[in-house]
């Protein structure tokens, strides 16, 4: 049975992924900071390994990944999902908040890559999926700290594919729309196309089985978001501003 490694597994999409994978009989290593949440995921099957670890600590994360391989065998698929989101007012910028987003959302992915890639390249087999967001496609209100980290993950996945695909490592980038999680619970506006974490997990697991580089969902929402990438800038700012309570002059 394949061995999946999921970061950010204590809640939201990560917890839903770990639960779904265990239910279908796969081996799962779940990495997150909250040990009590990880313990709650253990289904008693012997296929689960929980590791309390902060993804911003590259040394601790490398150790956790090695321990996972020692416990459950080589990692076949890593879903790098750990992330944070704090809405931002661009009139009140705190650089520390922006740095923290980059440290968790972007470097938290990068920190996992050396031990994962070393093993997968040696076996010439493996899959690595970065959880990005449609917020990485164009700048959105309140996402000034969050969105750039997700755009960076898309670029990272694209760039790494050139080196990793010829060595048997499948790289994918996951771009959900709005998902009901602890992070999105802080939003004070209507979130179109909002889906549950369980639905998001099902979409991700389905997408991992395809040849698609980008896994995006829900389709009825991401198609609309995709069109925004092609709008002229002036039209984009006026349209999105009007729909989100940020009217533009």
pLDDT surpasses 80 at 197: yes
Nearest-CA neighbor of 181 among 170, 195, 162, 168? 195
* Paired tokens of 53: 């670890």
Nearest-CA neighbor of 8 among 58, 56, 77? 56
Q: Answer left, alpha or beta for residue 142, where phi above 0 means left and psi between -120 and 50 means alpha.
A: left
Confidence of residue 200 (pLDDT cuts 50, 70, 90): very high
pLDDT at 32: 96
pLDDT surpasses 70 at 188: no
Confidence of residue 244 (pLDDT cuts 50, 70, 90): confident
* Paired tokens of 150: 């997700």
Active site residue 98: no
Q: Is the pTM of this model over 0.85?
A: yes
Mean pLDDT of the chain: 94
Residues 6 or more apart whose CB falls under 8 angstroms from that of 92 comprise none
The sign of the dihedral angle between the CA atoms of 152, 153, 155, 159 is: positive
Catalytic site residue from 4, 106, 146, 189:
146
What angle is formed at CA 72 by the lines to CA 70 and CA 77, rounded to 5 degrees? Answer: 105
- DSSP conformation letters of 24-68: TT-EEEEEES-HHHHHHH--SSS-EEEEE--TT-HHHHHHHHHHH
Q: Answer left, alpha or beta for residue 48, where phi above 0 means left and psi between -120 and 50 means alpha.
A: beta
Question: So what's the architecture of 3-244 in CATH?
Answer: 3-Layer(aba) Sandwich (3.40)
Residues 6 or more apart whose CB falls under 8 angstroms from that of 235 comprise none
Give residue limits of the domains in the chain: 3-244
Q: What span, in angstroms and rounded, lies between the C-alpha atoms of 7 and 55? A: 8
């Amino acid at each position: 049975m394949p061995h999946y490694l999921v970061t950010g597994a204590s809640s939201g999409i990560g917890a839903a992924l770990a639960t779904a994978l265990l239910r279908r009989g796969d081996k799962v290593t779940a990495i997150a900071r909250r040990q009590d949440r990880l313990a709650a995921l253990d289904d008693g099957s012997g296929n689960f390994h929980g590791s309390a670890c902060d993804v911003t600590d590259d040394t601790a994360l490398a150790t956790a990944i090695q321990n996972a391989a020692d416990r459950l065998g080589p990692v076949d698929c890593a879903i790098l999902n750990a992330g944070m989101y704090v809405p931002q007012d661009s009139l009140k910028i705190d650089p520390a908040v922006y740095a923290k987003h980059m440290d968790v959302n972007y470097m938290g992915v990068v920190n996992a890559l050396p031990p994962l890639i070393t093993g997968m390249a040696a076996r010439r087999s493996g899959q690595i999926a970065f959880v990005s967001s449609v917020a990485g496609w164009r700048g959105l209100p309140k996402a000034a700290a969050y969105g750039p980290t997700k755009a960076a993950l898309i670029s990272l996945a694209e760039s790494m594919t050139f080196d990793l695909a010829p060595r048997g490592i499948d790289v994918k980038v996951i771009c959900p729309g709005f998902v009901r999680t602890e992070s999105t619970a802080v939003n004070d506006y209507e979130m179109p196309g909002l889906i549950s974490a369980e639905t998001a997990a099902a979409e991700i697991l389905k997408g991992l089985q395809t040849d698609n580089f980008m896994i995006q969902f829900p389709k009825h929402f991401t198609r609309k978001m995709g069109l925004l990438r092609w709008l002229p800038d002036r039209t984009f700012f006026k349209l999105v501003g009007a729909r989100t309570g940020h009217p533009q002059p």
